[in-house]
Amino acid sequence: MTARWLPLLAAACAVGPDFTRPAPPPVDRYTTGGVRGTIAADGVAQVVRPGGELAADWWQLFHSPTLDVIVRDALAHNASLEAARASLRRSRYSLAAGYGVFYPQLDATGGVTRQRFSPAQFGSPMAPSEFNLYTLEGKVGYTVDVFGSQRRTVEGLRAQVDVQCYTLAAAHLSVTGNVVNTAIAHAGYRAEIQATEELIAAIRTQVELAETQARAGTAPYSNALSFRGQLASTAATLPPLRDRLAQADNLLATLVGAAPAARRPLELELAQLALPRDLPVSLPSELAHQRPDILVAEATLHVSSANVGVATAAMFPQFTLSGAVGVTNTTPGALFDPASWIWNLGAGFTAPLFHGGTLNNQRKAAIAAYEQSLASYTQTVLAALSDVANSLQALALDAETVDEQSHAVEAWAQAKKLIDANYASGLSDYLAVLTTENSYLQAKLGYIQAQTQRLQDTVALFVALGGGWWSVRHAVCTREFP
């Protein structure tokens, strides 16, 4: 083997650790007992399908054209997504700039100077002279990356691109999740307001009946006053509900990149949202390679690993090659005379000898940063597993709550019908009517809230699973996420 191959062999070595993806969590389920599905509530039982793949447009599982439109608007106009896309483009340009270190650096210089030359500095008695000096020169420089400092730097830039790509995927998931969740909450508030207004109308009827009975002398006027109090108390619950509804509208406007005054209020009924029956749930080992925040943590860990290599390479000699060729003369017309040509070639190195422990401590700091990133990655994975487990358990309990609340609404509706008829015929007193009216309202509102929570916890599960963004062919990190 000839000596000319030695620099190439040396350049093939990069000091510092080679990054390896962390192993996925060694578990095959999210909860101790495992969750396979929910009971049938409102005629719908949700079935968990382990190992299933969630669609990228998971919000379409709710079968709401209105919801589809608002999500599409948000993906097209959300400012946070635009910022994330710009950040990804910036990181890609930085990586492209970083690749420049692997090529020779060429520069051209030129200038003209007025000089005074004194031969006395060489011991000559000749008189000083003044002249103009014209120079044109091309320079080339190249860093021989023997110990991989530049390669580790570019490796870190590539990992930064991954960080920004997965950050964009996380922003995409956050926006879609917030839009769907807010739209469901909006529909829930509308349903609560409608139920409350129906009850107010019923109580107003009771007020009129009580006042009629009081004027006829068949019932004390205190009954009418009690109904009026109940009417005022029930009506007082409407302003907070309307406020929350307006806030949901304003939040949706912000998510789609519009001012609240520039967007019409959302018209979406709770009954227009279908509860997804089939719940595809990735295995824990797959989740670690799908959920954006985990992938961001992994890419950040890769950056830290590359930084250890950069800090390690700084402790070794740095080698450079340089050269220059040009022309110089005292008159512009003679610049390209053969006698005007100048050139130089050189090689150099810089080897750290003593830096007061700076380089060694910088390497230790880089290692500590890597260990910090590794711990953060582990915590992110554990938090993700917990998110999925919590969502699965919440859905199982939501189904039970919806089932019980539906039975309560049916029971109190029948009781209300009987009590109202008895009161109208004088067989029941006003207290029984008030108690039944209030219980029916609470049961109906509880039922609406349980339905809303079940839908929102389904959204939470889809978000906890990563939203299925990886299943979109053009969403990989080789291109911008849409």
Residue-by-residue pLDDT tens, the chain, 482 positions: 344 433 433 445 789 899 999 999 999 899 887 777 899 998 999 999 999 999 999 999 999 999 999 999 999 999 999 999 999 999 999 999 999 999 999 999 999 999 888 888 888 888 888 889 999 999 999 999 999 999 999 999 999 999 999 999 999 999 999 999 999 999 999 999 999 998 888 888 888 888 888 888 877 888 888 888 988 998 999 999 999 999 999 999 999 999 999 989 999 999 999 999 999 999 999 999 999 999 999 999 999 999 999 999 999 999 999 999 999 988 888 888 888 999 999 999 999 999 999 999 999 999 999 999 999 999 999 999 999 999 999 999 999 999 999 999 999 999 989 988 887 887 877 768 777 888 888 899 999 999 999 999 999 999 999 998 876 644 545 544 44
Q: Let me know if residue 176 belongs to a domain.
A: yes
Q: Let me know if residue 32 belongs to a domain.
A: yes
Boundaries of domain holding 167: 14-100+152-312+361-475
Say which residue the tokens 């006698």 belong to.
339
The one-letter code for the residue type at 299 is A
Q: Let me know if residue 137 belongs to a domain.
A: no
Question: 15-45 burial, b if ≥16 CB within 10 A, otherwise e?
Answer: bbeebeeeeebeeeebeeeebebbeebeeee
The total domain count for the chain is 1
Tokens matching residue 39: 């009971």
Query: Coil, strand, or helix at residue 315?
Result: coil
Q: Let me know if residue 143 belongs to a domain.
A: no
Question: 348-368 burial, b if ≥16 CB within 10 A, otherwise e?
Answer: eeeeeeeeeeebeebbeebbe
Tokens matching residue 227: 């109904």
Residue 27 sits in a domain whose CATH number is 1.20.1600.10
Q: Are 350 and 359 in contact (CB under 8 A)?
A: no
Q: Let me know if residue 331 belongs to a domain.
A: no
Strand ranges for 219-300 from DSSP E: 278-281
Distance of alpha carbon 16 from its chain centroid, rounded?
Answer: 31
Q: Let me know if residue 298 belongs to a domain.
A: yes
Q: Are 446 and 410 in contact (CB under 8 A)?
A: no
Q: Let me know if residue 146 belongs to a domain.
A: no
Nearest to 428 by CA among 233, 232, 223, 228: 223
* Residue 323 phi, psi dihedral angles, 5° rounding: -165, 160
Nearest to 81 by CA among 201, 280, 216, 255: 255
Q: Let me know if residue 82 belongs to a domain.
A: yes
Strand ranges for 4-77 from DSSP E: 47-50
The whole-angstrom separation of Cα 288 and Cα 381 is 7
Q: Are strands 47-50 and 105-117 parallel, antiparallel or unpaired?
A: unpaired
